[in-house]
Amino acid sequence: MSSQVIFGQLLVGLINGSFYAMLSLGLAIIFGLLGIANIAQGAFYMMGAFFAWLLLRELGVTYFYALILSPLIVGLIGAVVERLLLRRIYKLPHEYGLLLTFGILMFTQGLFIYLFQTAGRPYATPPELAGGYNLGFMFLPKYRAWVVVASLMTCLASWYALEKTSLGRTLRAATENPALTRAFGINVPSLMTFGFGAGVALAGAAGVLAAPIYTVSPIMGADLIIVVFAIIVIGGMGSILGSIITSVSLGLLEGLAKVVYPQGSNMVVFVVMILVLLVRPAGLFGRER
């Protein structure tokens, strides 16, 4: 087996891991703040890719502008969804959140299939990032290197914002004790709208990054979100850095499985999930409650 194949698959794994990281990070923020396991995260990822594609086709907005604009639109849609729908179910048990967001996923996916059909739409690699580097042991396309760097930077920036800024501290306080945080005069309901918007915007940004690699299609988010939920279970809900590390490692593991035992590569994440659940039910970085 050539090193080209091995490193090629590992790179794909690393890229998938970066997308998992952005999606699971958003999920962790949303779950912490709203108590909702947002399965619609996959739909927001898909929307991110679609808006980038639409912006280019309809308005001629190029990739780097779309990378800012599309997540912003996705975030605004998320904020509206939070205000109109999610807000009504905070007092109900977690299952309701899962069901409602599953409905949102189905609805959004159906709407996009109705408007754009299921066939994938190609999104050209931006010319600035075309080509690649020959590293000797493998060929590294520039765009793929950019995706890994950009998504990890986004994750680290989000982690920094949560841990080190005053907005992040307020978000953490609102996550830990919303009633008391409100009693200090902090508008927690608005923070929740913002948190949901920011969480789904991360998925939207992942969608834009993914557009030139995978074709843009209404169902691109549905498969991904199942894997991301498994990763959340593996990593546990406790730690932001933990979920980033888990995502990247499992992406790599999947890539490795494609080299060693391709038939099992789609399964490997779930096998790990079962093992982790047996040994550490709270997840690798999670805290027992």
Binding-site ranges for another protein (CB under 8 A): 166, 169-170, 172-173, 175-177, 179-189
Q: Which residue has the tokens 């962790």?
A: 28
- Residue 72, SS3? helix
CB of 75 to another protein, least distance (A): 23
- Max Cα-Cα span within the chain: 63
Cβ contact 215:121 at 8 Å: yes
CB of 67 to another protein, least distance (A): 31
Task: Report d(CA 223, CA 220) in Å as an integer.
Answer: 7
* Strands 139-141, 132-134: pairing kind: antiparallel
Residue closer to another protein (CB basis): 57 or 169: 169
Task: Report d(CA 82, CA 101) in Å as an integer.
Answer: 10
CA dihedral 46, 99, 241, 277 (to 10 degrees): -120
Task: Report d(CA 197, CA 144) in Å as an integer.
Answer: 27
Q: Is the dihedral of CA 276, 280, 281, 287 positive or negative?
A: negative
Query: Within 13 Å, how many C-alpha atoms sit on residue 69's CB side?
Result: 15
Residue closer to another protein (CB basis): 74 or 188: 188
CB of 239 to another protein, least distance (A): 11
Q: Which residue has the tokens 């994938």?
A: 120
Residue closer to another protein (CB basis): 43 or 171: 171
Residue closer to another protein (CB basis): 133 or 160: 160
Tokens of 50: 């679609």
CB of 215 to another protein, least distance (A): 41
Residue closer to another protein (CB basis): 240 or 252: 240
